[in-house]
Amino acid sequence: MTELNNKYDKPDKNENGEEGKNINSSSLKNIHPVISPISAAFLGLIGGFFLYQIVGGLLTILIFGSNVEHASIIGLRLMTMAGQILFILLPALLFAKWVYHDITKIIRFRLAPFNEILLFVLGIIILTPLLQYYIAIQTFAIDHLAQSYSLINSLKILLDKLNSFVDKTYINLLTAHSVFEGILVIIVVSIVPAICEEVMFRGYIQRSFEFKMKPVWAALLTAIFFGLYHFNPYGLIPLIGLGFYFGYAAIKSDSIVVPMSLHFLNNFVAIILFFIYGNKDILNTHPSQVGSLESSIIMFFILLVLFIGVIFLIRNYYKQKIKIIGG
């Protein structure tokens, strides 16, 4: 057995401050980064942003020309996939190797029991519609405020333009006219981002923050950068919420496989719904029509209570697991 598989050997404090065996803390004790972990985290954030957004954007223009809208959609999908692998996944692995030497522990390369994955999947099943109802409420609030305040209305106009561009990009990526295209969309939009983004964010970046702060704060800070990274103005809060849940799953399970599975499932379901209904409002983070505000608020709080219940279920599961391991 490797040292990673024996990560429960050292007693530590659990999340309630009680003496026990913490699932995560001991695995970082023998790692000595060559630079400050905070600096390492921001190196990954800045480096990943520069490589993927700037270098990747320039390469796209060089290959397809400035009129990207008329470029081959298959080519753009392949370029998007290559950019994720070369400019997100590869830098995360290289940074982890250079700064920490032990890629396996930093990225949390460890298989998780299937029942633990299912436990977190239950949470994402509730969280996804919960965030959709939040978006409906947010949309109503923004539209209402924009009617009353000219400054907010001006800001809304700018955000609408950016949101329209983001939506159009996603719609082009998701539109498929054959089985081959459908499979390619699933690979590009669901599988590849789940692997590449989770290795970078919940692996390298969040793990770096965990050296200097409590894991929950490391997960929240990483989630904020994860949301900002996607340049989706109306989807910022939902993306932060998803990222925080992914980070929480990584902390509790100590396995990158769990947030990868959740990330994949979230994107995959959105793709399948798009294929079935062909309605961009399924994926639109700023829907043009908002249903009853009262029903949206009621459903939001019902789902919020259910989601909190799942979190307590997850916490209780790992408390029992720590007790069993502790003997």
Do 197 and 100 form a contact (C-beta atoms < 8 A)?
Answer: no
Do 247 and 219 form a contact (C-beta atoms < 8 A)?
Answer: yes
pLDDT of residue 30: 86
Would the pTM count as exceeding 0.85?
yes
Phi and psi of 13, rounded to 5°? Answer: -90, 140
Residue 2 resides in a domain: no
Averaged pLDDT in 10-residue chunks for the chain of 327 residues = 37 41 59 95 93 87 76 87 95 96 94 94 96 92 91 89 80 87 94 97 96 95 95 92 97 96 95 80 50 86 97 95 77
Strand (E) or helix (H) holding 12: strand 12-13
How many angstroms separate the Cα of 206 from the Cα of each of 56, 93, 164, 249, 295?
24, 14, 31, 12, 36
Residue 178 resides in a domain: yes
pLDDT of residue 277: 80
CA distance 204 to 4: 16
Residue 122 resides in a domain: yes
Do 235 and 270 form a contact (C-beta atoms < 8 A)?
Answer: no
Residue 220: both structure tokens together? 């929240």
Residue 194 resides in a domain: yes
pLDDT of residue 9: 36
Work out how many domains the chain is built from and give that number.
1
Short-list 248, 226, 221, 217, CA closest to 124: 248
In this structure, the chain runs to a length of 327
Residue 3 resides in a domain: no
**Helix residue ranges, H only, the chain:** 37-49, 56-64, 73-84, 90-100, 103-107, 114-148, 150-174, 179-186, 192-198, 206-210, 215-229, 236-253, 257-277, 293-326
Residue 252 resides in a domain: yes
Q: Which residue has the tokens 């505000």?
A: 293
Residue 127 resides in a domain: yes
Residue 229 resides in a domain: yes
CA distance 209 to 39: 9
Domain of 152, in residue numbers: 8-326
